[in-house]
A and B are shown apart, each in its own frame.
Chain A
C-alpha cells in the first residue's frame, strides 16, 4: 500500500504525516470526523405485551410500518422446516375482515408498497404508504394478528407457490444451494442447520393444523414489535395503536424459547461435495458467537477488513493480486444464536481449490498473527460510520435498526449505542477475537466441485 488516505487527511492536510510519523499512537487523531445523527424515538408497551416504537420524520409525507414477530426458521421443529416462511405467505390470505390478497392490493391502490420476509430469527411484515392511510394499515395489521383465515385450498396453493420459490431461488441457479450446503455441514443440532426456505419434503408434509398452531403460538402480541416511522403525530398514533391492538387478548401461554443448543465443535471438519456449478467453490467457516456478545463487534469489524471494498484483504489478495478467485469474501453471519463466520471463494479456471483454501486460511491466520495497522482499523471504522449514515436515509432503514435493537438485543438503545462500541474496537480486540474463534478445531473446510470433477 503505497499511500493511505485517511479521513483526517481529507479534513486537515498534514495529518497523514502525523500518522506516518507516530504510527499507531496517532489513532486518536484519526477519529471519524462525521457522526451519524441519533435516531429520535419513543417506546411503550400495551398491557397485552405488544411493544411499540414510534419515530417521527416529517421530511416526506409517507409512513413506514413494520411488525416484527420474534419467530423464524430456528423455531421450527424437525420435519417442519420451512414452516415459518410458508406461514408468512399465509398471512396474506385474509383475516376476519379482510379478503385474501386484499391487504396487498389495497395498499397498492394508494400507491403504497408492502411485503414480508422471514429470517432464521424473525418474521417481518411491512408497509410504506402515503401518511393519511396510517389508521387503515394499523387496522389491517391488527386484524391479521388477531384473526387469521385458514383455508385448506388457499394453503395448498400457497404451498405450491413456496415450492416454486424454492426451485427458483435455490435449485435452479448456479450457487443457489451454497448456503444450504454450508449450514448443513457446519451445524449438528441447532436449527440453523436447515435453510429458512426448508426442504421440499417438509413443505409437502406441512398441514393446515400446523398453520393454526403456529399462529396461536407465535403470532401473539407479546411476541410482536410494531414500529412506525415517518410523517405522523405521536399522540395520535399512540391513540390509534391502542384502539386497534389493545383489544387483542394476551396470550394464555408464554412463547416457547426451547431451541436446541449446538455442541461445541472439537475437531476440524473437511467435506468435499459436487454440484452442477460451473466453477468450484471453497468455503472456510468458523463457529462464532451471537449478536450482542462483546466479541461480536470485533467480528463485524473483521468482516469489513476482509471484504468491504476493493482494498479489503480477501478481495485484494484472492481476487486482485493472486487472481485465484472470480469472487471472494469473508464475513460474519452474526445472529441471535451463535452462528458462523465464513469465507467463500469461487475459484478461477486454471486455479485450484487447494490454493484458494490456503489463501483463505492464511487471511484468518494473519488476523491472529499480526495486529492490524492503525490505518487499516480506521478505514474499517470509517466504513462503519458510512454504513450508519447512508443506511439510515429511508424510514424503512430506520425502522429496521430500531426494531432489530429492540427484538434481537432486547435493548432499543443499541440502535444508536453500538456506534461508540464500534468506534472503540481496538486492533488487539480484533486479534484476540480472531485467536478465540479462527482455530483449526473450530473450522469447517468445504470444497464444492463441479459435477464429475471429484471422481476424476
Chain B
C-alpha cells in the first residue's frame, strides 16, 4: 500500500493569455528561449462499435467486444436504488444490494466467495440513488460461470436472516465511522438542504434505526418489485464474440418473466431557499464547505451548456475556484464545482476544505465566483478551453472497453438518444458564451444558496458575518437529525427519535473505512468515491460514554436497553416462549464434546422445559416452581439439589422478566462501566446480582451472574440479535465458565405466546427417582434466551 500524493490535478485556465514566458528566472543560462513545438497531425477518432439488443422479456443487453486482454466484465444494472426505498425505511435498496452476493437459494455466501475467488474473478455490488449494479470480472475461460453467477445473485438472492444481521452490523458500524468524517457529513447535510424530504435528500444507506428496522420481507418485496428483466440493463464487455454474449444472456436471463414495475410517486424537491448551516465539530482542523442548489435532471435540454458553465466555475478543463482559492491564495488543496444530474432532479455544488482561520474568506470567494459567472460574459478563450477539454478528451474516454461500455450504459439508462454519443463534439463546440451566461443566471441564485460548513464553529462563525453571511444556524454534530425540519434532534419527545443522518451520495459496494481507500488511491483532489453509509449509532451519543454513577443514569440506561430490546410493552407482553436451538458442549480442551438440538418451552413466571435428543434418546428436563426433574427412557428422576438451585437461578436471571422487574422498581439498579462497555447492575450486590453488559446499540452483549453450582462471576454472552415479533432476540449465546466457553447455543426458531399445554410441566407419578449421575453434558442450566 503505497501512499501517494498528487500535486496539480484540476486544471487552470491560461493565465492572461500569456502562454509562454518571456522573463528569465531559471537557473540554466544555456537553455534556449523557445516556443513549444507544433503538434503532429490529428487522427480521426470514432466511437468503437457496440451493440444493444432487447430480449423477449424486455431486458436490454449491450455488448462491447475487445480482445486485447483475455478477460470479460459484466455489469447488471437494475433501474431502482435508494430513491425507491419505502418511507421510513431508508437503506432497503442499499442493504438489498449488499446482500445480493451474500447467498442465493443454491449457494451460501461462503460458496459464492470461494467460487469467484478461486477462479481469480471478482464480484461486486453497488447501490446508488436511481440504480443498483452488480458487476463481475472473469477470465475468458470462465465466461459461462460468470454469467451463471451474476444471473443467480440477481435472480435468486436468499436474503438469509443470518446474513441480513451480519450486513446490518457492518453497515451500522460503518455509519458510525463515517459520522466522524467531515467530508461525509457535509455531503449528506447538503443533499438534505437541497432536496428536502425528496428521496434524494434522504440517506441512501439509512441510519442505524432504519437499518435495524428493515425486515427480510422488506428486502424481498424490494427485490420482487424492481428486479425484473424489463427493468434491467446487462452489459457484457471484453474478450467474447457477439454470438457468445447474446446467447449466454438469453440462456441465463431468457426464462425470467417480465413484470409490471410500480411507478414512483414522490414529492418535488423544494425551491431553492437561502440557508446556512454550520455543523459544529470542535476537534476539526479544517472546515468542509459546500455551497450550491437545485438544478436540472440528466435529460434536461440545457444539460450540456450547464455542464460547461459548472466546469468553468470549478471543473476539469477549467476551474476558476481552483485558480482563485488554491493557486492564487493557497487556501486549500482542492476546490471544485460539480453538477449532479440524476434521473428526476439534479443539483450543483461548489466545494472546498480550508483551514479554520480562512473559512469565511473561502466561502466569500466561492459565492463571488458564482456571481461573476452570471454578471460577466465568459470570454471565448476561456469557454474555448473548457470546450476543447470536453471535446478533446473524447479519445481518452474510450481507452478501455469498460470506459466505452459505461458511456453506452449511461445513455441507455438515462434514455438519451444513442446517436448523441456520435454528435458529442459538434454539440460541445456549438455552446456560446451567451448560453453559458443564460444557464448560469437561470440555475444559480447566489442569494438563495444552500450552504453547509462542517468544522470548529466557535473558531470561525465570526468570520461568516464578516464575509456577508449574517444568518446561520449552528448545530452540534451530536444533535444533527436529518429527519427533522430544523435538522436538530428534538430534545423532548420520543426517545426513539433517531438522528436520521445518513448518506445520500452514491453508496459503494464494500464497507471499508474511508481512510483506507484514500491511501490506496492515486492522489487527486477530486472527491474520491465514498463508501456507503454513515450516521450515528442508535440514540444520541456518538461515542460510548461511561455513564455517571447514580440512579438517574441507571434508569436512563435501563430505559434505553428496554427500548433497544423492543420496548417495555412488548417485554411485558411475553407470556410464553417456544424456542428451538442447536447447542454445542465444549470439553476442557475447547473441543466439541457433543452437539444436540433442543426445544425449550418457557411459561412465565416459573416454568420451563427443555426437550433434547441425546444420542438418539429424547431427554426432557423440566422446572416448575422450584422443583426440577428429568424424564428419559430410563424413567423420571429428580435432578440433584444443586442443579435445581441453578435452574431456579436461571429463571430469575432470564433477561425478559429481569428487565421488567427492574422497570417496575421491584429490584434496585445501578449503572457502571467496565472494559469500555456500559454495565447495568440489577439486584443488590451479592449472590443474586446480575450484571448486564451493554453495547453502543444498547443491546445486552453479556450477562454476568453467580451460579450456585459453578461459582461467582459466570458469564453468558449474546450476539446476532434479530427482530422477532417486535422484540430483538439474540440468536447466538455462549456460556463461559472461568473464561472458557463451555456451551454454544444457536437459536434456529423462536416464537412468543403460543399456547402451551400446562400438562407439559406436570411431574408424572414417580417411577423410580434413583439419582444416578446426571449426564455430564446436561450440568448446565438449560433454557435461557
B37: A residues at CB distance < 8 A: 135-136, 139
The docked-state distance in angstroms from the alpha carbon of A68 to that of B120 is 31
B719-A323 in contact (CB<8A):
yes
Contact of B71 among A130, A389, A452 (CB under 8 A): A389
B255 in the interface (beta carbon within 8 A): no
Contact of B169 among A95, A118, A160, A323 (CB under 8 A): A323
The docked-state distance in angstroms from the alpha carbon of A395 to that of B396 is 10
Contact of B385 among A94, A105, A327 (CB under 8 A): A105
Contact of B1 among A104, A311, A331 (CB under 8 A): A331
B394-A120 in contact (CB<8A):
no
A456: B residues at CB distance < 8 A: 546, 673, 676
The docked-state distance in angstroms from the alpha carbon of A121 to that of B105 is 49
B118 in the interface (beta carbon within 8 A): yes
A-B contact count (CB 8 A): 404
Interface residues of B in 1-33 (CB under 8 A from A): 1-9, 11-15, 18-21, 24-28, 30-31, 33
A99-B18 in contact (CB<8A):
yes
A32: B residues at CB distance < 8 A: 120, 139
A27 in the interface (beta carbon within 8 A): no
B596 in the interface (beta carbon within 8 A): no
Interface residues of A in 97-113 (CB under 8 A from B): 97-113
A119-B4 in contact (CB<8A):
yes
The docked-state distance in angstroms from the alpha carbon of A169 to that of B514 is 10
A157-B7 in contact (CB<8A):
no
Contact of B11 among A105, A157, A276, A312 (CB under 8 A): A105
The docked-state distance in angstroms from the alpha carbon of A95 to that of B393 is 26
A172 in the interface (beta carbon within 8 A): yes
B119-A7 in contact (CB<8A):
yes
Interface residues of B in 257-288 (CB under 8 A from A): 283-286
B286: A residues at CB distance < 8 A: 164, 167-168, 171-172
The docked-state distance in angstroms from the alpha carbon of A383 to that of B108 is 21
A441 in the interface (beta carbon within 8 A): no
The docked-state distance in angstroms from the alpha carbon of A323 to that of B717 is 14
B42 in the interface (beta carbon within 8 A): yes
A172-B182 in contact (CB<8A):
yes
B513-A327 in contact (CB<8A):
yes
B36-A140 in contact (CB<8A):
yes
B695 in the interface (beta carbon within 8 A): yes
The docked-state distance in angstroms from the alpha carbon of A118 to that of B6 is 7
Nearest CB of B to A88, in Å:
5
Interface residues of A in 316-340 (CB under 8 A from B): 316, 319-320, 323, 326-327, 329, 331, 333, 335
B27: A residues at CB distance < 8 A: 147-148, 150, 212
A349 in the interface (beta carbon within 8 A): yes
Chain A residue at minimal CB-CB distance from B144: A10
A101-B12 in contact (CB<8A):
yes
| Contacts known (A3-B111, A112-B392, A326-B170); A333 close to B2, Cβ less than 8 A | yes
| Contacts known (A115-B523, A196-B5, A379-B120); A3 close to B114, Cβ less than 8 A | yes
In the complex, per-residue mask of B758-772: 1 if CB is within 8 Å of any chain A CB, else 0: 000000000000000
In the complex, per-residue mask of A35-65: 1 if CB is within 8 Å of any chain B CB, else 0: 1110000000000000000000001111000
Nearest CB of A to B258, in Å:
31
B116-A309 in contact (CB<8A):
yes
B33-A96 in contact (CB<8A):
yes
Chain A residue at minimal CB-CB distance from B701: A350
B647 in the interface (beta carbon within 8 A): no
A195: B residues at CB distance < 8 A: 3
The docked-state distance in angstroms from the alpha carbon of A275 to that of B37 is 53
Nearest CB of B to A197, in Å:
6
A326-B3 in contact (CB<8A):
no
Of listed A95, A350, A389, A392, residue having the most chain B CB within 10 A: A350
B248 in the interface (beta carbon within 8 A): no
In the complex, per-residue mask of B152-181: 1 if CB is within 8 Å of any chain A CB, else 0: 000000000000001001100110110111
In the complex, per-residue mask of A17-38: 1 if CB is within 8 Å of any chain B CB, else 0: 0000000000000001111110
Interface range on chain B (Cβ under 8 Å from partner)? 35 or more
Task: In the complex, identify which listed stretch (B325-333, B437-445, B683-691) lies at the interface while the others stay far away.
Answer: B325-333
Contact of A139 among B36, B391, B515 (CB under 8 A): B36
B117-A276 in contact (CB<8A):
no
The docked-state distance in angstroms from the alpha carbon of A227 to that of B120 is 30
Interface residues of A in 53-101 (CB under 8 A from B): 59-62, 85, 88-89, 91-92, 94-101
B177-A320 in contact (CB<8A):
no
A100: B residues at CB distance < 8 A: 15, 327
Task: In the complex, identify which listed stretch (A173-181, A362-370, A411-419) lies at the interface while the others stay far away.
Answer: A173-181
The docked-state distance in angstroms from the alpha carbon of A94 to that of B245 is 51
A277 in the interface (beta carbon within 8 A): yes
A146-B28 in contact (CB<8A):
yes
A1-B330 in contact (CB<8A):
no
Contact of A151 among B25, B38, B399 (CB under 8 A): B25
A420 in the interface (beta carbon within 8 A): no
Nearest CB of B to A210, in Å:
14
Of listed A108, A139, A151, A383, residue having the most chain B CB within 10 A: A108
A112-B169 in contact (CB<8A):
no
B515-A320 in contact (CB<8A):
no
The docked-state distance in angstroms from the alpha carbon of A147 to that of B21 is 13
Contact of B353 among A33, A132, A164, A276 (CB under 8 A): A164
A310-B169 in contact (CB<8A):
no
B524 in the interface (beta carbon within 8 A): yes
| Contacts known (A112-B396, A394-B400); A102 close to B19, Cβ less than 8 A | yes
A269 in the interface (beta carbon within 8 A): no
B173: A residues at CB distance < 8 A: 279, 326, 346, 348-349
B378 in the interface (beta carbon within 8 A): no
A85: B residues at CB distance < 8 A: 5
B355: A residues at CB distance < 8 A: 163-164, 167
The docked-state distance in angstroms from the alpha carbon of A276 to that of B318 is 38
The docked-state distance in angstroms from the alpha carbon of A285 to that of B619 is 51
B673-A61 in contact (CB<8A):
no
Contact of B21 among A97, A136, A146 (CB under 8 A): A97
Nearest CB of B to A222, in Å:
17
Nearest CB of A to B204, in Å:
19
In the complex, per-residue mask of B96-140: 1 if CB is within 8 Å of any chain A CB, else 0: 000001000000111111111111111000000000000001011
A309-B515 in contact (CB<8A):
no
A242 in the interface (beta carbon within 8 A): no
Chain A residue at minimal CB-CB distance from B514: A173
Chain A residue at minimal CB-CB distance from B25: A149
B512-A327 in contact (CB<8A):
yes
Nearest CB of B to A353, in Å:
9
The docked-state distance in angstroms from the alpha carbon of A278 to that of B353 is 22
Nearest CB of A to B46, in Å:
10
B513-A115 in contact (CB<8A):
no
Chain B residue at minimal CB-CB distance from A140: B36
A115-B524 in contact (CB<8A):
yes
Of listed B3, B170, B283, B542, residue having the most chain A CB within 10 A: B3
B68 in the interface (beta carbon within 8 A): yes
B391: A residues at CB distance < 8 A: 111
Contact of B119 among A323, A382, A389 (CB under 8 A): A382
A5: B residues at CB distance < 8 A: 114-115, 118-119, 145
A201: B residues at CB distance < 8 A: none
Instruction: List the 8 closest A-B pairs by CB distance, nearest first.
Output: A111-B392, A382-B120, A160-B330, A111-B393, A147-B26, A175-B515, A108-B11, A310-B113
Known contacts A105-B12, A105-B385, A346-B177; 13 additional CB pairs below 8 A are A34-B71, A96-B26, A99-B18, A99-B19, A132-B43, A146-B28, A147-B27, A164-B354, A175-B516, A309-B117, A310-B109, A323-B166, A390-B137
6 A-B pairs (CB sep. < 8 Å): A60-B398, A96-B25, A310-B101, A311-B114, A379-B118, A390-B71
